[in-house]
Structure formats: structure tokens, C-alpha cells
Amino acid sequence: MNAYVPILILLAVAFTVAASILVLTQLVTRLLVRPGKSRVKLSVYESGVNPSGDARLRFSIKFYLVAMIFIIFDVEVVFFYPWAVVFREMLLESALIFWEMVAFVGVLLLGYIYVWRKGGLEWD
């Protein structure tokens, strides 16, 4: 049971911080925002500029495609770190680890070339 004490302390601290932030937010809001303030004073603005137009702008599908492609290739690169850490020790046992990574990079390269040929990286 002693192993769970740090986890319980962490949960208690997290709950206390979250609850205190909520309470402090309510207190500060009630102190700073007086009922006599006008609706214009309480309106939302960005850097002192009143909002204009619709907040629901349509983005090009290319934006989302590039974002997804970036995430996919970024996550795949994460696999290089554990491989690089054990590469030297594993290479002494077998060269298979090197050829597995060559195949992995080959698949990534084929995916990148496919996306490039299809125009997935073009912004215009």
C-alpha cells in the first residue's frame, strides 16, 4: 500500500490546484467585473480590435492534408530514437536491425514520394 501513497498525494495536489483555480477565477471575476459595466465593455476583442465577420472560416483541405502528413511523418521519425540507442549493441549480434531500418526508411520514402507526386505538399 505504501507504493500508492505518492500517487494519492499527486491526485490530491492536482485536485486542490484545479479547485483553487476555479474558485479564484470566480472571485476575481466578481471583484473586477462590476454589474454596472456596459455590454460593449464586456465584449470579446482581439488586441483591441473588434471582431468582424464570421468566426467559422473555411480552410482549404490542403491545410489539413499537410498537417496530417506532417504528423504521420513526425511520429514515424520518433521510431528512430530507440533504434539509434540500441543500434551499436544490436549490430554486433546481427545485421538484421540495420536492414529492418533500411526497409522502414524505404517505406517512408515511398510514402513521401507518393504524397509529393500527388501534389499533397503544394499550397497553391
Domain-embedded: residue 124: no
Domain-embedded: residue 86: yes
Domain-embedded: residue 45: no
In this structure, the answer to whether residues 23 and 66 fall within a common structural domain is no
| Structural domain span for residue 72 | 61-118
Domain-embedded: residue 21: yes
Q: What pLDDT, on a 0 to 100 scale, did the predictor assign at position 76?
A: 83
Please count the structural domains in the chain: 2
Measured distance CA(38)–CA(24) in Å, rounded: 24
Domain-embedded: residue 22: yes
- pTM (two decimals): 0.47
In the chain, beta strands by DSSP E: none
Residues in the chain with pLDDT < 70? 33-48, 50-51, 55, 124
* Chain Cα centroid distance, residue 77: 16
In this structure, the answer to whether residues 25 and 70 fall within a common structural domain is no
Q: What pLDDT, on a 0 to 100 scale, did the predictor assign at position 18?
A: 97
